[in-house]
Structure 1
């Protein structure tokens, strides 16, 4: 997923729209659902591997990330591998400071 770099901090003004995009490296057919989360709340859901959402966040600090659900059931791996090889993925968090 290409949003920006790991833990990016963006600074914007209150009147500036913020476009948030999700792209995949050719694996989009496996994505069942993509959810954009801002400040711990789901604000947008897409059923495909590509998505674009324009937000106008209020003043202050905000966190954004994508939560991805892949098609199919998660394999039943033992221990820590279950988390690493399952059907869920997350983008890096992105902090936005609106002045």
Structure 2
């Protein structure tokens, strides 16, 4: 449930931008602007994790704890999503399994 809320919150700025642009310029510009804002925020987060390794390690630690809690509650899909987030954070920090390249 928390992961779904986080995903919706990540889409909120792009949705709001698209709604505001739609009233002035139409749907084509609205979709382009909303997509640009949403992708820009995701790329900004990844760049900040790559540049600042301690932030990525902290985010990975929190994701691992959330995944363990979800596995304990029997929520396999949610736990797998948190595991994926932890993997991306560890990759951004430069900590990876042998064979992974950066």
TM-score by length of 2: 0.19
Greater length-normalized contact order (CA 8 Å, ≥ 6 residues apart):
1
Q: Which has the larger radius of gyration?
A: 2
TM-score by length of 1: 0.19
Structure with greater proportional strand content: 1
Structure with greater proportional helix content: 2
